Amino acid sequence: MKKYNLVILGATGAVGIEFRKILLERNFPINNVRFLGSSSVGKIIEFGDRKIEVEPVTDDSFKGYDIALFSAGGEISKKVARKAADSGCIVIDNSSAWRMEKDIPLIVPEVNPQDVNWHNGIIANPNCSTIQMVLPLKHIHDAARIKRIVVSTYQAVSGTGINAIDELTIQTKKILEGGKASIEVYPHQIAFNALPSIDVFLSNGYSKEEMKMVNETKKILGDDSIQITATAVRIPVFYSHSESVNIETEIKITSGDVKELLHNKEGITVVDDPSSHLYPLAINAQGKDNVFVGRIRDDESIPKGINMWIVSDNIRKGAALNTIQIAELLISKNMIMN
Amino acid sequence: MKKYNLVILGATGAVGIEFRKILLERNFPINNVRFLGSSSVGKIIEFGDRKIEVEPVTDDSFKGYDIALFSAGGEISKKVARKAADSGCIVIDNSSAWRMEKDIPLIVPEVNPQDVNWHNGIIANPNCSTIQMVLPLKHIHDAARIKRIVVSTYQAVSGTGINAIDELTIQTKKILEGGKASIEVYPHQIAFNALPSIDVFLSNGYSKEEMKMVNETKKILGDDSIQITATAVRIPVFYSHSESVNIETEIKITSGDVKELLHNKEGITVVDDPSSHLYPLAINAQGKDNVFVGRIRDDESIPKGINMWIVSDNIRKGAALNTIQIAELLISKNMIMN
């Protein structure tokens, strides 16, 4: 089996940790591997049988490497991704820096694998909230054409990074001890609260996170006619985003049809027997690969509507796993010339 | 000033505690007061300068009393409310037992005070999630006729009662200590999780809580033509429900119009400057009387739509306060004949 030279940029972040775990779990065919970072430079990291020192990014970091998995934020990605691609290393980037660029595909392998064909050295990994939503919606769109989506999210703190996981832990402890929470990562206390604020706000009153869901969904599903409105909310959960998704379709589709349609589809698990207390849950999705869909029911307020509850591990399928699946897709299509 | 003989049924529950607090805060004109309970019978409770023993419910419990505030669940309410009303005591009931009865008004004093005129001895207090939603929606409906509502809730555990507050506390501590949460009140762990399950499920796949929002909203706004679909979700918050509300109107209304419309309206506080981190928050609404509205923005997915974020203390405006405001409404209309 052919093996590949791999770079991870941001190897010690929340997503970076998951990159390393999933690469080993899936026996990703690795020849040389290089970990790049900034604040963690010099740190020695165990990776399977190897011990790897985190290196700083230089102009030569990507020479001789086939694939780079980026999860270090948009700023550094904008600086180095083009250079990496120019040196022959295909970049799969987790930040929002490249997602809406016309010449850069935005890929969820189960949804739009064909878009990998037109990459120019950089492929964008979508926003976590978008990835888990488009997986089931793709099948409904194919079957019944989605006209409109109204989505409200219940997002985990791990999406912000390790410091946010610490903040939720520390604040929660403090409050249970009767103290006052100190606030560093989020603009307000996240423990025992719900923050309708993710990423910065734009002039139309929506947050960037909300507009990512609007714009990325259209690009991934390849259909600008789908109308989407989103409310993105952070809640005190460590891992897995939940989403309340309401859709209106062109063609009538019943909740029964949707359950059948999604049954056994790649990357999707239907969990839907609410009377037996079975529905997707954040704590159950944690550490799992699939997107969990349940509470599928006919929206009785319109003739052709469906409500559903979509849950997935935001760090796995929402980030690290999807990125690695894109790399696997490139390999399976023989698109890596080394 | 005329004073009234008052009964509280369920005086030691989460809502009962709030009843007592708010009655004192608002100097409710009380002559005699009687506390009724079941498991708390015999308990002595301080109430202002008085010390009151919790009594069991008997056939004579309501004789000579003017107003009874009920918050002891639907079962006991069904058993005794009619008897209490027959003995001349007006019952204001917090359970769902009477809400959809044709001859029983369902009242939010800022929204449909006129409905108090046709009561027959029992008045129902709406579901907490419904109360906070209809307050701002009433004004929008009057101005622009609401055609459809899509709502997703983020509900606090206090809605379930004191045992649920304890469960969230105990589970959270246990998990932070590295242990496993034990589950008693809810079907699943509520700490660091989101449960798309409130109350029992009905044959249409919706929970009773979700259908309460659908049916009660129509009754309170006095308009069966409003179409509503709801997703009710419990999150690890102690007090205050948050709601992501999407509406479609008959007449075009902009987010600017809505902000102006809701400004300084009775019972409503607009908190809406997201770029300065100002939006309604559960922890800020706790202990407050008003319903907080923010994140008001044009829904760009339809020509006439608005998104908003509505937060209120579910135990105060969502239960105890609204009940007491109904009693005050009866008094102000001279509808109590003692």
ipTM value: 0.96
Across A201-228, average pLDDT: 98
Of A194, A255, A299, the CB nearest to B242: A194
Pick the residue of B247, B295, B311 with the most A CBs within 10 A to test the interface with A by mutation. B295
Mean pLDDT score of chain A = 97
A285-316 residue pLDDT tens: 999 999 999 999 999 999 999 999 999 999 99
Cα separation of B219 and B126, whole Å? 10
* CB-CB under 8 Å, A244 with B194: no
Structure-model confidence comparison of residues B153 and A337, the more confident one: B153
Residue B119 in tokens: 């009561």
Q: Do A255 and B194 touch (CB under 8 A)?
A: no
Residue A305 neighbours by CB under 8 Å, 6+ apart:
A246, A247, A248, A249, A298, A299, B229
Query: Helix crossing, A255-262 with A128-144: angle to 10°?
Result: 110
Show the tokens assigned to A59.
Answer: 């102009």
What local confidence, expressed as pLDDT, does residue B59 receive? 87
| Positive/negative CA dihedral, A66, A71, A75, A78 | positive
Which residue matches tokens 């069904």?
B78
Mean pLDDT of A256-266: 97
Give residue-wise pLDDT tens across range B303-333: 999 999 999 999 999 999 999 999 999 999 9
What tens digit of pLDDT does each residue of B219-253 get? 999 999 999 999 999 999 999 999 999 999 999 99
Residues in chain B within 8 Å Cβ distance of A309: 196, 231
Could you count the other beta carbons within 10 Å of the beta carbon of residue B247? 27
Mutation to test the B interface, candidates A149, A193, A206, A281, most B Cβ within 10 Å: A193
**End-to-end distance of chain A based on CA atoms, in angstroms?**
13
Burial of A66 per CB tally in 10 Å (0-12, 13-18, 19+): buried
A196 vs chain B: nearest CA distance in angstroms? 7
Please name the member of B148, B294, B302 whose beta carbon is closest to the beta carbon of A301: B148
| Chain A environment of B237 (Cβ under 8 Å) | 192-194, 235-236
Spatial separation of the C-alpha atoms in residues A61 and A80, rounded to whole Å:
10
Mean pLDDT of B288-315: 98
User: Quick one: closest CA in B to A187, which residue?
Assistant: B277
Q: Which of A176, A197, A300 has the CB atom closest to B279's CB atom?
A: A197
- Please tell me the distance from the alpha carbon of residue A293 to that of residue B10, in angstroms, as a whole number: 39
Evaluate if residue B6 carries a pLDDT over 90: yes
The pLDDT-based confidence of B172 (bands split at 50, 70, 90) is very high
Measured between beta carbons, the chain B residues lying within 8 angstroms of A187 are 277
pLDDT of residue A338: 64
Share of chain A above pLDDT 70, in %: 100
- Alpha-carbon distances of B256 from B249, B263, B298, B305, rounded to whole Å: 15, 11, 9, 12
Active site residue B277: no
Query: What does the pLDDT read at residue B338?
Result: 64
**Maximum distance among all alpha carbons in chain B?**
60
Per annotation, catalytic residue among B89, B119, B128, B139:
B128
What pTM value is reported for the model? Answer: 0.97
Partner residue opposite A244 with nearest CB, options B152, B242, B295: B152
What's the pLDDT score for residue A311? 98
